Amino acid sequence: MNSHSSCGLSLRLKTGVTALLLFVFQMGLVSAAPLKVVTSVPDLADFARRVGGNLVEVLSLASGKENPHAVALKPSYIAKIRSADLFIQMGLDMEHAYAPALLAEARNLRLQPGKEGFLDLGEDVQALGVPAVLDRAGGDVHPKGNPHYNLDPVQAQRMVRAIGARLALLRPAEAVLFRANADAYVREIEERLGSWKARLRGKGVRFISYHPDFAYFEERFGVRQEGTIEPKPGIDPGPAHIEALVRDMQTRKIRLIVKESFYSDRVPLELARRTGAVLVSVPIFVGATPEARDYLSMMDALVSAFTK
Ligand SMILES: [Zn+2]
């Protein structure tokens, strides 16, 4: 074989390999890199994982074991946000103490408010408990109204759909899959919602909690939050507020104290001892307790705590 014909064979081989690779790529058999998603709280990470499957890589800044208003920051978060394709938050100022500063520090232009890489799920919420005047005086962490709408499964369904739509916008080639995954999760939530309602509605459950995070849960399930251990959202109680709570619980016969898992036991235990009320610790985010593995099991655990 002379050098001329071997060169011609090599050229034909190369052309053939290139054409094959092009064909494989066009058929979508070579997958693009997963979309990198950062969420503020773990419920949003659960939704993004379910909708995105193995086409997304998801990080939640808060673990579920932390107060969502005061998340301990790790330096690694900056790098994660810098390389992310999408940032998702609850909004209504839930993440006010850390998200705006992290986004500014990471300087990722795709993730700025108004861009496709920034999804604020609070924008479409009719907020409950909006104060007459926006005021963070004294450390009030709900100046734009109550941001704990994740405990309403109907809001969860809306969030799942919104995340599906946004992932589809960022990666149109996978839009059909994202929408199908979102629809499947919405149906699963719908199936559980009926049993959660059946277990709570009409039972006359009345309780106090540490923080006012049950406003939307209350509306959906007909339970009644009669007060909070915090005098204002984010403010720890002083002796006068504790005395007033004890009197109020005795007068109005409130028999249940619901403590969100990451708050201190000290005041709830004192109230339980002095009033004879039952104290239960509950997850209010995915990952808060071992049984709260995902949104469905978190809500299962929460509903069970109210029906004990
Ligand atoms: Zn709050």
User: How confident is the model over 82-93, as pLDDT tens digits?
Assistant: 999 999 999 999
User: Is the pLDDT higher at 24 or at 156?
Assistant: 156
Comparing CA positions, the residue from 69, 66, 70, 87 lying closest to residue 78 is: 87
Helix spans in 30-152 (H): 42-52, 76-82, 99-106
99-118 mean pLDDT: 95
18-42 mean pLDDT: 71
Q: What is the pLDDT of residue 32?
A: 85
177-188 mean pLDDT: 98
Residues 39 and 159 in one domain: yes
| Distance between Cα 179 and ligand 1 center (Å) | 31
Residues 168 and 210 in one domain: no
Q: What is the pLDDT of residue 257?
A: 98
Residues 161 and 227 in one domain: no
| Distance between Cα 217 and ligand 1 center (Å) | 13
Spatial contact of 45 and 89, defined as CB atoms under 8 Å apart: no
Residues 187 and 297 in one domain: no
User: How confident is the model over 265-303, as pLDDT tens digits?
Assistant: 999 999 999 999 999 999 999 999 999 999 999 999 999
Residue where a domain terminates, one of 194, 211, 246:
194
| Distance between Cα 227 and ligand 1 center (Å) | 14
Residues 220 and 154 in one domain: no
User: How confident is the model over 119-141, as pLDDT tens digits?
Assistant: 999 999 999 999 887 777 667 89
Residues 39 and 184 in one domain: yes
d(CA 195, CA 163): 25
**Beta pairing partners, 118:** 87
DSSP symbol at 112: S
For residue 25, which amino acid is it? F
d(CA 223, CA 203): 8
pLDDT at 1 over 50: no
Residues 173 and 299 in one domain: no
Q: What is the pLDDT of residue 131?
A: 85
The answer as to whether 156 is a domain residue is yes
225-240 mean pLDDT: 95
d(CA 208, CA 255): 9
**DSSP E strands, the chain:** 35-39, 56-60, 86-89, 118-120, 206-209, 224-228, 256-260, 278-282
Q: What is the pLDDT of residue 139?
A: 75
User: How confident is the model over 239-259, as pLDDT tens digits?
Assistant: 999 999 999 999 999 999 999
| Distance between Cα 95 and ligand 1 center (Å) | 10
The answer as to whether 3 is a domain residue is no
Q: What is the mean pLDDT of the chain?
A: 91
Q: Which of 31-35, 54-58, 135-139, 232-236 has the lowest mean pLDDT?
A: 135-139
d(CA 89, CA 119): 6
Domain containing residue 258: CATH number: 3.40.50.1980
pTM of the model: 0.89
d(CA 147, CA 163): 18
| Distance between Cα 122 and ligand 1 center (Å) | 13
d(CA 110, CA 211): 34
First to last CA, the chain: 86
The answer as to whether 231 is a domain residue is yes
| Distance between Cα 97 and ligand 1 center (Å) | 12
Residues 188 and 208 in one domain: no
- Scanning the structure block, which residue is given the tokens 């923080």? 211
Q: Name the percent of the chain lying above pLDDT 70.
A: 89
Number of domains composing the chain: 2
d(CA 285, CA 195): 20
The answer as to whether 178 is a domain residue is yes
> Which structure tokens are listed for 290?
């071992």
For residue 114, the enclosing domain spans 35-121+128-194
d(CA 167, CA 66): 27
